[in-house]
């Protein structure tokens, strides 16, 4: 009884694949796969290829194997940049997600006056391109002619310069929080909308307080959304580029060319013509980002169970 199906299954599968294998699925996936290979796999392949060579102004191009990777592992500028975005991740992401969570809960509570207006105005900054947002904040941060200068003048204060080396990372964190609070809020809010209202009714009948409802029903329902928002934010933090790159023209001495790993890779290739090493840095950072995101996802999934 048991042996017969085991013997027959492989031969049945063979018959199907030999004779009338269906390509319909591939035809559907084909266009996507072609584009995916062209714009995603090919550049990665090229970057890996690039990272195995070294091109010098004097001496031309030679194959160096993993030399560039060894150099990257011992490159203080790269690790300083990595440390900076890691700090950014540890401080900014929890603050941003906490604020988003509060706002989503506030809107979902149904006790907010003008909830839809509130929702759209919190979300609006996400619709502003990052470059424009950074320029706008850059003007406000100005201690010479910007908002800070005006505040100082009117109130007779001497506020610290948000673009000084000690504060510039915080200032960038502020911009990024402003940009993405609304986006994350929307993820959380939509997750809350799918909670079955009968759960709330049941909780109320049991005499649960609002806080208790948040703790026992809403937060567990948000776990998946929280995980997605966290992973997006991790990737975003490691890839921090637009904000420091734009602010660099306003604070050239506070934001170095190796301020974040992406900015470092950019400077290496476009100012230094070190395309090979730049590709190496990009790949190393890509791997680190993948590993961190994966570990977080694994841990989150385990907790979810």
Residues making contact with other proteins (CB under 8 A)? 39-40, 42-44, 46-47, 49-50, 55-61, 129-131, 142-145, 164-165, 180, 232-233, 235-236, 239-242, 249-250, 252-254, 256-258, 262, 265-267, 269-275, 278-279, 282
Q: Token pair for residue 162?
A: 């948000």
Pairing of strands 60-63, 53-56: antiparallel
| Minimum distance, C-beta of residue 119 to other proteins, in the bound complex (Å) | 20
* Closer by beta carbon to other proteins, 30 or else 166: 166
* Closer by beta carbon to other proteins, 170 or else 249: 249
* Closer by beta carbon to other proteins, 100 or else 269: 269
* Closer by beta carbon to other proteins, 41 or else 87: 41
Contact assessment for residue 134 and residue 246, using Cβ atoms and an 8 Å cutoff: yes
Buried/exposed 67-85: b ≥16 CB within 10 Å, e otherwise: bbbeebeebebbeebbebb
* Three-class HEC string of the chain: CCHHHHHHHHHHHHHHHHCCCCCHHHHHHHHHHHHHHHHHHHHHHHHHHHCCEEEECCCEEEECCCHHHHHHHCCHHHHHHHHHHHHHHHHHHHHHHHHHHHHHHHHHCCCCCCHHHHHHHHHHHHHCCHHHHHHHHHHHHCCCCCHHHHHHHHHCCCCCCCCCCCCHHHHHHHHHHHHHHHHHHHHHHHHHHCCCHHHHHHHHHCCCCHHHHHHHHHHHHCHHHHHHHHHHHHHHHHCCCHHHHHHCCCCCCCCCCCCCHHHHHHHHHHCCCCHHHHHHHHHHHHHHHHHHHHHHHHHHHHHHC
| Minimum distance, C-beta of residue 39 to other proteins, in the bound complex (Å) | 7
* Closer by beta carbon to other proteins, 30 or else 165: 165
* Closer by beta carbon to other proteins, 12 or else 34: 34
* Closer by beta carbon to other proteins, 9 or else 164: 164
| Minimum distance, C-beta of residue 243 to other proteins, in the bound complex (Å) | 9
| Minimum distance, C-beta of residue 104 to other proteins, in the bound complex (Å) | 19
| Minimum distance, C-beta of residue 143 to other proteins, in the bound complex (Å) | 8
| Minimum distance, C-beta of residue 29 to other proteins, in the bound complex (Å) | 21
Q: Token pair for residue 169?
A: 């990372």
* Closer by beta carbon to other proteins, 239 or else 297: 239
| Minimum distance, C-beta of residue 239 to other proteins, in the bound complex (Å) | 4
| Minimum distance, C-beta of residue 101 to other proteins, in the bound complex (Å) | 18
């Amino acid at each position: 009884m048991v042996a017969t199906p085991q013997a027959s299954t492989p031969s049945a599968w063979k018959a199907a694949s030999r004779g009338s294998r269906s390509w319909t699925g591939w035809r559907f996936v084909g266009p996507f796969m072609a584009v995916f290979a062209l714009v995603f796999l090919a550049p990665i392949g090229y970057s890996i290829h690039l990272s195995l060579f070294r091109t010098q102004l004097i001496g031309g191009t030679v194959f160096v194997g993993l030399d560039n990777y060894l150099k990257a592992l011992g490159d203080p500028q790269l690790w300083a940049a990595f440390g900076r975005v890691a700090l950014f991740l540890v401080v900014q992401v929890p603050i941003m997600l906490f604020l988003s969570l509060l706002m989503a809960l506030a809107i979902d509570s149904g006790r907010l006056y003008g909830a839809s207006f509130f929702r759209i105005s919190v979300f609006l900054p996400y619709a502003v391109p990052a470059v424009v947002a950074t320029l706008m904040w850059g003007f406000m941060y100005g201690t010479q002619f910007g908002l800070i200068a005006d505040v100082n003048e009117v109130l007779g204060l001497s506020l610290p310069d948000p673009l000084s080396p000690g504060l510039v990372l915080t200032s960038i964190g502020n911009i990024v929080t402003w940009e993405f609070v609304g986006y994350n809020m929307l993820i959380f809010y939509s997750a809350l909308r799918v909670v079955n209202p009968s759960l709330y009714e049941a909780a109320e009948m049991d005499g649960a307080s609002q806080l208790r409802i948040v703790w026992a029903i809403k937060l567990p329902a948000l776990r998946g959304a929280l995980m997605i928002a966290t992973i997006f934010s991790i990737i975003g933090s490691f890839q921090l580029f637009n904000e420091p790159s734009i602010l660099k023209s306003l604070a050239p001495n506070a934001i170095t060319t190796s301020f974040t790993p992406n900015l470092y890779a950019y400077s290496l290739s476009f100012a230094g013509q070190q395309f090979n090493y730049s590709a190496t840095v990009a790949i190393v950072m890509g791997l680190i980002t993948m590993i961190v995101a994966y570990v977080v996802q694994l841990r989150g999934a385990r907790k979810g169970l």
